[in-house]
Amino acid sequence: MPLIESQYKSPWWLPGGHAQTLFPRLFRRVPSVSYQRERITTPDDDFLDLDWSRIGGNRLAILLHGLEGCSRSHYILGLVHALTNTGWDTLSLNFRGCGGEMNRQARFYHSGETTDIHTVVEHAAKQFGVDEIALVGISLGGNAAMKYLGEQGSHLNLRVRKAVAISIPCDLASSSRKLAAVSNRVYMKYFLSTLTKKARAKAERFPGLFETDRLESMTSFAEFDEQITAPLHGFDSAEDYWTKSSSRPFIPKITIPTLMLAARNDPFLTPECFPEKEARESNLFHLESPQNGGHAGFFPPTGKRLYWSESQTVKFLDETNL
């Protein structure tokens, strides 16, 4: 019954989910990482940019960023430093269109897209011969990682042995509706500002791919996913996309130790995004949901150096065994 009673508490001077979400984004300064970039070709003749940080070990953590993030997002850099300091090589995947150059094919990435994760896992396992692979995903990347693990089930590459998912909207429909609330307008405006620019560029390259007349006036994921994400990726509607791409239904099919970290005051998440029943019924899926932390925030407790989500990730990957 891996439902973990969390001891994490945010500092007293950083109250509330919004402050705990925004503070790291605005004020955290993470040392840069000297990545080695590798570009690989996908089965559909597109490309993926992989940013490696190697220390010469035999354990590899594949890091998956959130919506409109990249390998240089502060939360990815923090994880790279935390993991390499404890003996893990890292591979930070830039989802299609997120590595600094627009991808070649019509489709982008989305919350439930897992074929590229599979391509990267198999590439890393075959080309670099590491003994152990872990998947670590944040927000959108965490949802995609858990969906991938459930899809693969017993067919998962045997070198993939552990996973961590941080602040993930594992029920996309309810999370999308919550983000449309007035209190979350700042986040929605940020996400849509970059998504619509990419969609406009994609439409110019592939005329007729989707309707663009209301692109700049969109105010919610319901609108963007209905008009762009769904038709672009073969879904019938935004609701169809959310239903088929949510990772929560896939959790019971996960076959390796997996930790999900999610704060109860996360402004992006709803009660449906806390799969307590699945954790109680599983010997492999662990859920830790402290009251505080915000969305991918988890400022370090007093006297600690690492952000709490980073220290918990390292602890779980180093100490948990099948």
Q: State which H helix or E strand residue 145 sits in.
A: helix 140-152
Given a contact cutoff of 8 angstroms between Cβ atoms, the answer to whether 273 and 174 are in contact is yes
Q: What is the pLDDT of residues 1-58, one digit of tens each?
A: 588 899 999 999 999 999 999 999 999 999 999 999 999 999 999 999 999 999 988 9
Question: Percentage of the chain with pLDDT > 70?
Answer: 99
State the residue for tokens 């670099």.
128
Q: Which pLDDT value is given to residue 302?
A: 75
Structure token pair of residue 210: 């989707």
| Across 250-273, average pLDDT | 98
Q: Which pLDDT value is given to residue 24?
A: 94
pLDDT(78) > 70: yes
Contacts of residue 71, defined as CB under 8 A and 6 or more positions apart, other chains included, come to 35, 49, 51, 63, 65, 92, 93, 94, 99
| Across 116-144, average pLDDT | 95
Q: What is the pLDDT of residues 226-235, one digit of tens each?
A: 999 999 999 9
- Using the 8-state DSSP alphabet, how is residue 86 labeled? T
pLDDT(65) > 60: yes
pLDDT(268) > 80: yes
In whole angstroms, what is the distance from residue 112 CA to residue 147 CA? Answer: 7
What's the chain's average pLDDT? 95
Phi, psi for 18 (deg, rounded to 5): -70, -45
| Across 73-89, average pLDDT | 97
Q: How confident is the model at residue 200 (pLDDT cuts 50, 70, 90)?
A: very high
Identity of the amino acid at 63:
L
pLDDT(137) > 60: yes
State the residue for tokens 């890393």.
124
Q: Which pLDDT value is given to residue 322?
A: 66
Given a contact cutoff of 8 angstroms between Cβ atoms, the answer to whether 79 and 136 are in contact is yes
In whole angstroms, what is the distance from residue 99 CA to residue 37 CA? Answer: 10
Structure token pair of residue 92: 């930070």
Domains of the chain: 3-171+247-319 (3.40.50.1820), 172-245 (no CATH)
Given a contact cutoff of 8 angstroms between Cβ atoms, the answer to whether 251 and 278 are in contact is yes
| Across 137-152, average pLDDT | 98
State the residue for tokens 């952000």.
307
Q: Is 69 exposed, middle or buried (0-12, 13-18, 19+ CB in 10 A)?
A: buried
In whole angstroms, what is the distance from residue 81 CA to residue 61 CA? Answer: 12
| Across 117-123, average pLDDT | 97
Q: Which pLDDT value is given to residue 1?
A: 54
pTM of the predicted protein model? 0.96
- List the catalytic residues: 139, 266, 295
In whole angstroms, what is the distance from residue 260 CA to residue 279 CA? Answer: 10
E strands, the chain, in order: 3-4, 36-41, 47-53, 59-64, 89-94, 132-138, 160-166, 258-261, 285-288
| Across 275-286, average pLDDT | 96
Question: For residue 311, how many other CB atoms are within 10 A of its CB?
Answer: 17
Cα-based torsion angle of the residue sequence 169, 171, 175, 176 in order, rounded to the nearest 10 degrees:
110
User: Any long-range contacts for 271-275 (C-beta under 8 Å, 24+ apart)?
Assistant: 271/174, 272/170, 272/171, 272/174, 272/175, 272/248, 273/168, 273/169, 273/170, 273/171, 273/174, 273/175, 273/248, 275/170, 275/248, 275/251
pLDDT(177) > 90: yes
Q: Which pLDDT value is given to residue 321?
A: 76
Given a contact cutoff of 8 angstroms between Cβ atoms, the answer to whether 88 and 72 are in contact is no
| Across 166-185, average pLDDT | 97
132-138 vs 160-166, strand pairing mode:
parallel
Given a contact cutoff of 8 angstroms between Cβ atoms, the answer to whether 199 and 212 are in contact is yes
